[in-house]
Amino acid sequence: MKIAIMSRNKRLYSTRRLVEACESRGHQVRVIDTLRCYMNITSDKPELHYGGENLEDFDAVIPRIGASITFYGTAVLRQFEMMGVFPANESVAISRSRDKLRSLQLLSRDGIGMPKTGFAHSPGDIQDLMKMVGGAPLVIKLLEGTQGIGVVLAETAKAAESVIEAFMGLKANILIQEFIKEAGGADIRCFVIGNKVVAAMQRQGAEGEFRSNLHRGGTATLVKLTPRERATAVRAAKVMGLNVAGVDLLRSERGPLVMEVNSSPGLEGIESATGKDVAGMIVEFIEKNAKPHHTRTRGHG
Binding site for ligand ADP (CB under 6 A): 115, 139, 141, 145-148, 151, 177-180, 183, 187, 205, 210-213, 248, 250, 259-260
Closer residue to ligand ADP, CB minimum distance, 40 or 68: 68
CA-to-CA distance for 4 and 26, rounded, in angstroms? 14
CB of 180 to ligand ADP, least distance (A): 4
CB of 49 to ligand ADP, least distance (A): 34
Query: What is the phi/psi pair of residue 161, to 5°?
Result: -60, -45
Closer residue to ligand ADP, CB minimum distance, 5 or 192: 192
Closer residue to ligand ADP, CB minimum distance, 209 or 287: 209
CB of 146 to ligand ADP, least distance (A): 5
The answer to whether 31 and 5 have CB atoms below 8 angstroms apart is yes
CB of 91 to ligand ADP, least distance (A): 21
**Backbone dihedral region of 45: left (phi > 0), alpha (psi from -120 to 50 degrees) or beta?**
beta
Q: What is the amino acid identity at position 18?
A: L
Closer residue to ligand ADP, CB minimum distance, 179 or 285: 179
Closer residue to ligand ADP, CB minimum distance, 51 or 184: 184
Q: What is the amino acid identity at position 67?
A: A
The answer to whether 263 and 97 have CB atoms below 8 angstroms apart is yes
- Under 8 Å CB-to-CB from 53, ≥6 apart: which residues? none
With H, G, I as helix, E, B as strand and everything else as coil, classify residue 90: coil
What stretch of H or E contains 278?
Answer: helix 278-289
The answer to whether 63 and 89 have CB atoms below 8 angstroms apart is yes
Closer residue to ligand ADP, CB minimum distance, 49 or 216: 216
CB of 10 to ligand ADP, least distance (A): 25
CB of 189 to ligand ADP, least distance (A): 9
